[in-house]
Structure 1
Amino acid sequence: MTESEGINEKMQAEVQAIHNLDMQWAEMVESKNASGMAALYTANALWLPPNDVQTSGTEAIQNFYTRLFQTPNLSLVHTTTKIAVSQSGEMAVEVGAYNISMDTPQGTFKDTGKYMFLLSKLDGEWRIAADIFNSDAPLM
């Protein structure tokens, strides 16, 4: 894998394409577009949320975002800290941090954590093949 700093032009173009995918992700959050969000994932993408079971596929991912986007006063932002692209340019890993807040029946929920996307290039487009995220809050 090649880190996003000090890489050749071809790899820099791949990193930029992944940043473009991140901008689409943010647009889907802003517009609360669950089907658009699911379209950013591969058809059999792995979904690895904290404190829940592993699932896969865009239908499960769309269902998650449909529920999340109905939450009042949702704010969800992720910040990329590292992108590594394989030498073949077909796979990549993105690591970053997220901040989320929303209103719940129990009050305002806020969390900060980290995420990792495993990305796959399909038909010339980057898509999220696996998504794992977890909180920085102590377990106990």
Structure 2
Amino acid sequence: MNTTKFFKSIVLGLLIVGSVASCKEKVIETVETVKPATVEELGQMNRDFAKALVAKDATAAANLYTENASLLPPNEPIVTGRENIKNYWQGAIDAGLIAASVKTIDAGSDGDLGYEIGTFELKFQAEDGSIITDI
């Protein structure tokens, strides 16, 4: 996979992570009571995701997805299932990922469908030592 295509995949991957995370429900103390994750909770998930990537822990990053989640990288096949998503993010780590940040701006849900709007920044160190920033 060429570098440009990989970076485009990373961009979409982060957008999907936000979408998957926003659909995740938080169980409240009472039985059978659920509510959508708040913007603050999504923000924490994003920080946990970025921290996992920088720590080169693809397993921790993938664990923020549901077991049957799908990642939709552009111009590539759909990546389905947590194990395959873990392998995808391991590819980003292996490509030289050195820094990541993700920020939730807004989020909402209707029933079991949720969305997230946010920003991200990824930094990769190329083989020649140069830093590539993807925003």
TM category, shorter: 0.5 to 0.7
Amino acid at match of 2:116: E
Of residues 110, 115, 119, the one that matches 2:133 is 110
Q: Per-residue deviation at 1:34?
A: 0.7
1:40 & 1:55 partners in 2: Cα distance?
15
* Superposition RMSD in Å: 2.6
Amino acid at match of 1:111: D
1:70 & 1:22 partners in 2: Cα distance?
20
Amino acid at match of 1:109: I
Structure 1 residues 33 and 73, CA gap change in structure 2 (3 angstroms): closer
Structure 1 residues 18 and 73, CA gap change in structure 2 (3 angstroms): closer
Which residue is equivalent to 1:69?
93
Which residue is equivalent to 2:42?
18
Which residue is equivalent to 2:119?
97
Q: Per-residue deviation at 1:28?
A: 1.1
- Structure 1 residues without counterparts, runs of 5 or longer: 1-9, 113-140
Structure 1 residues 101 and 26, CA gap change in structure 2 (3 angstroms): closer
Of residues 64, 72, 85, the one that matches 2:109 is 85
CA contact (8 A) 1:11 1:85 kept: no
Which residue is equivalent to 1:31?
55
SS in 1 for 2:95: coil
Q: What percentage of residue pairs aligned between the two structures are identical?
A: 23
Higher helix share: 2
CA contact (8 A) 2:58 2:86 kept: yes
1:101 & 1:51 partners in 2: Cα distance?
22
Count of residue pairs the alignment pairs up: 101
